[in-house]
Amino acid sequence: MKLWNSRSSLNGSDFVFRLLSAVCALLVIALIVAVFLQLAESSMLAFRQFGFSFLLSQKWNPVTGNFGAASSIYGTLITTLIAMLIAVPLSLVIALFLAELTHPVVSKVVGTCIELLAAIPSIIYGMWGLFVFAPFMSVYIQPWLQAAFPYLPIFKGPKMGIGVLSAGIILAIMILPFITCVIRDVFKMVPAVVKESGYGMGSTTWEVTHKITVRYGLTSIVGACFLGLGRALGETMAVTFVIGNSHRITPSLFNAGSSIASTLANEFAEAADPLHLSSLIALGFVLFIVTFVVQVAARLWLRQMQKSFGGGL
């Protein structure tokens, strides 16, 4: 493979500059490979000790030296699922509001606000979740849910405020601005002519939206959701504060749980035993593989879309 496009004359300083930039660019590949190798190597101890059952075992006990990733993986998946279930529909309607329904000036101001909110560090959301949202959850939302659905096992258990459900909701609030911004941009990319021809036929705003705009941008919207998914999977601080950190898989969403990232954040500093440390890094390795696959899938999907529609994100 050639490192660069050829150009007939190339003097010394130009060559050095090119080489320097190529080295920097190759560093990107090197970094990704290095992350993979380093994490794989450091988690070897745990994988050798527990084998494949590391991924399936629910036990996580630093005292007896028994480690299994199942509870953390479950927590990561369930919080991400809750977050996506809340954030995706809400982002869609907010993006719809911004792109189609409201006055352009309002759209611009509110849109900028949402972009700024996407920039707020996740630890702020975590703080808010722990001190403001969790008490609110335990006093208002959890009793109401239990009263409204008395037979559902997912709403049983202590009304502590912290737990898997709260973590999922905080995660949803955190990824909401991000997904909204991307979907709004997708909506705005749909050519005005296409929408206008819909209106010209006498369609209402809703009809144009769900039959033309959403269908036109569907692939990009799915791509945007995948990017949000990648963020939610690896999010650490917003989850760690409110998930409660317990290594048990229970049917109730009110109980405390743990995600891969929250386990890492919580236990890493205290992990003195090499096996404990290696198990934690193995958790990180699993998370890396999962997010890497999600990112690659999302990017390939978006690139396909780019080729067929000629627009990009």
Partner 1 sequence: MKPRSKKPREIIDFIVKLISAVSAFFGIFILILIIYEVAVRGLAAFSFAFFTQLPAPPGMDKGGVANAIVGTFIITLMAAGMGVPIGLMVGIYLVEFARDTKIGELIKFLTNVMIGIPSIIVGLFVYTIMVKPFGQFSGYAGAVALAIIMLPVVARTTQDILMLVPNSLRESAFALGTSQWRVILNIIFRAAKSGLITGVLLAIARVSGETAPLLFTALNSPYWIQTLARPTANLTVLIYNYAVSPFADWQQTAWGASLLIMIAVLFVNILARVILKQKS
* DSSP for residue 60: E
CB 213 → partner 1: shortest distance, Å? 13
CB 286 within 8 A of CB 280: no
Give the residue with the Cβ less far from partner 1, 25 or 152: 25
CA 189 centroid distance within chain: 24
Instruction: Provide the token pair at 56.
Output: 């399936």
CB 151 → partner 1: shortest distance, Å? 29
CB 93 → partner 1: shortest distance, Å? 4
CA distance 181 to 188: 11
Give the residue with the Cβ less far from partner 1, 165 or 294: 294
Give the residue with the Cβ less far from partner 1, 113 or 222: 113
CA 13 centroid distance within chain: 44
- Residue whose entry in the numeric block shows the structure tokens 């909204």: 180
CB 189 → partner 1: shortest distance, Å? 16
CB 65 → partner 1: shortest distance, Å? 20
The helix, strand and coil proportions of the chain, stated in percent and rounded to the nearest 5, come to 75, 0, 20
Give the residue with the Cβ less far from partner 1, 68 or 129: 129
Give the residue with the Cβ less far from partner 1, 86 or 249: 86
CA distance 191 to 73: 42
